[in-house]
Amino acid sequence: AQSVAQPEDQVNVAEGNPLTVKCTYSVSGNPYLFWYVQYPNRGLQFLLKYITGDNLVKGSYGFEAEFNKSQTSFHLKKPSALVSDSALYFCAVRDFGLGSSASKIIFGSGTRLSIRP
């Protein structure tokens, strides 16, 4: 069965420093991986996705993520954090369900990113 793990409930980073939010996954077939961000009192917003091709994926707001097949990871990164990056981040994986042409979606438990000035 597919699953997603975000091992850190919270990540604290000083503004201007690089940040990493970790995600590991388990799927039976090819992974389709996503990162979403949730600001307070808002719905989730799409940041970036990996479908195929280049292992380094670039997304919105200067974020990027690196797909590592051997480590089954898809960590979110940013070279220089901003206070405005403080939010809740979710990793998600999609895979086709058995006997269905529609894909289910599994989200991680979320990582709260806090950037201090």
Query: Which residues in this chain contact another protein in the complex, by CB under 8 A?
Result: 6, 9, 32, 34, 36, 41-46, 49, 51, 90, 92, 94-97, 100-110
Nearest to 23 by CA among 36, 38, 12: 36
Kindly tell me which of 14 and 56 has the beta carbon lying closer to another protein.
56
Give me the least distance between CB of 44 and another protein, in Å please: 4
- State whether residue 4 is helix, strand or coil: strand
Kindly tell me which of 32 and 63 has the beta carbon lying closer to another protein.
32
Gap between the Cα atoms of 21 and 7, Å rounded: 9
Give me the least distance between CB of 16 and another protein, in Å please: 29
**Phi, psi of 63, deg, nearest 5:** -80, 155
Kindly tell me which of 41 and 70 has the beta carbon lying closer to another protein.
41
Give me the least distance between CB of 6 and another protein, in Å please: 8
Angle value at C-alpha 24, between 62 and 30, nearest 5 degrees: 95
